[in-house]
């Protein structure tokens, strides 16, 4: 089995604090990995390192055999947890920007996703509700034919119907030659898609494994395991 992501002894320190400590994990090609944990557990830092936006303090990180940086940005489609689109842009202009920046952007796929999300190219980002902005951002991310998709809390601001639309797009976009890392606290909504799960707490891996193996060994759902690991922290 080919490993698209390989992380060994990864540590990231900021002044006075440690965001990640001795992280070792792999993501096989064709797998969806759930990256789970409460706020402040290190999920976003790990994702930004994989996206080539933050440099590790020590350890080894490879994406498709390459150190994250300019070369890997061409094969990684990253959805950050904050809106990165300018308010003055229209949805279509955001698509033009992605098409200019990423050679793997599929305009036809983008148009199909906008229709699924009930968005139009002429709508201004600044006029959209929070949920509609999230759908626009997801349409852009899923319109790339990337090798690795990294989604940081992609369901913020989405109502149940919109979440269903996004999940349908997630399934339709996934290919056997790519992998996906998905961070969410809405575990119940998406756990059926997980091949592998990693639980982080205070920058460390506290539990990891194949999702079905964890369910079998613990006789519990991933959401129930989440509550057990984090002391019955509520998922949304």
pLDDT tier at 147, thresholds 50, 70, 90: very high
pLDDT tier at 213, thresholds 50, 70, 90: very high
Residue with more model confidence, 84 or 61: 61
Residues in the chain: 236
Reference 133, options 104, 154, 160, 148; nearest CA is 154
Instruction: Report pLDDT for 181.
Output: 96
pLDDT tier at 236, thresholds 50, 70, 90: low
- The average confidence (pLDDT) of the chain is 92
Instruction: Report pLDDT for 232.
Output: 59
100-108 long-range contacts (CB < 8 A, ≥24 apart) are 102/74, 102/77, 102/144, 103/74, 104/74, 104/75, 104/144, 104/145, 104/146, 105/143, 105/144, 106/143, 106/144, 106/145, 107/143
Average pLDDT over residues 76-98: 93
Q: What are 10-40's pLDDT values in tens digits?
A: 999 998 789 999 999 999 999 999 999 998 9
Ordered structural domains, the chain, with CATH? 3-229 (3.40.50.300)
pLDDT of 233 > 70? The answer is no
Average pLDDT over residues 112-138: 92
Average pLDDT over residues 124-132: 92
Instruction: Report pLDDT for 45.
Output: 96
Instruction: Report pLDDT for 235.
Output: 56
Instruction: Report pLDDT for 107.
Output: 95
CA separation for the pair 139, 29 (Å, rounded)? 22
Say what percent of the chain tops pLDDT 90: 76
pLDDT tier at 174, thresholds 50, 70, 90: confident
Q: Which stretch of 110-114, 185-189, 202-206 has the lowest confidence by average pLDDT?
A: 185-189
pLDDT of 129 > 80? The answer is yes
Instruction: Report pLDDT for 96.
Output: 96
Instruction: Report pLDDT for 209.
Output: 96
pLDDT of 173 > 80? The answer is no
């Amino acid at each position: 089995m080919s490993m698209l992501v390989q992380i060994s002894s990864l540590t990231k320190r900021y002044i006075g604090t440690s965001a990640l400590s001795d992280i070792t994990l792999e993501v096989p090609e064709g797998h969806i990995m759930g990256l789970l944990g409460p706020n402040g557990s290190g999920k976003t830092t790990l994702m930004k390192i994989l996206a080539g936006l933050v440099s590790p303090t020590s350890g080894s990180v490879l994406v498709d055999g390459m150190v994250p940086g300019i070369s890997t940005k061409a094969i990684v489609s990253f959805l950050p947890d904050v809106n990165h689109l300018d308010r003055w842009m229209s949805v279509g202009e955001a698509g033009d920007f992605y098409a200019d920046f990423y050679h793997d952007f599929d305009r036809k796929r983008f148009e199909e996703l906008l229709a699924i999300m009930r968005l139009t190219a002429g709508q201004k980002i600044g006029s959209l509700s929070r949920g509609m902005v999230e759908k626009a951002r997801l349409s852009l991310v899923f319109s790339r034919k990337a090798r690795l998709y990294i989604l940081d809390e992609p369901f913020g601001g989405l109502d149940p119907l919109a979440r269903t639309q996004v999940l349908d797009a997630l399934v339709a976009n996934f290919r056997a030659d790519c992998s996906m890392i998905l961070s969410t606290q809405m575990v119940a909504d998406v756990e059926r898609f997980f091949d592998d799960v990693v639980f982080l707490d205070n920058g460390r891996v506290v539990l990891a494994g194949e999702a079905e193996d964890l369910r079998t060994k613990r006789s519990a759902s991933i959401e129930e395991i989440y509550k057990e690991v984090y002391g019955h922290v509520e998922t949304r």
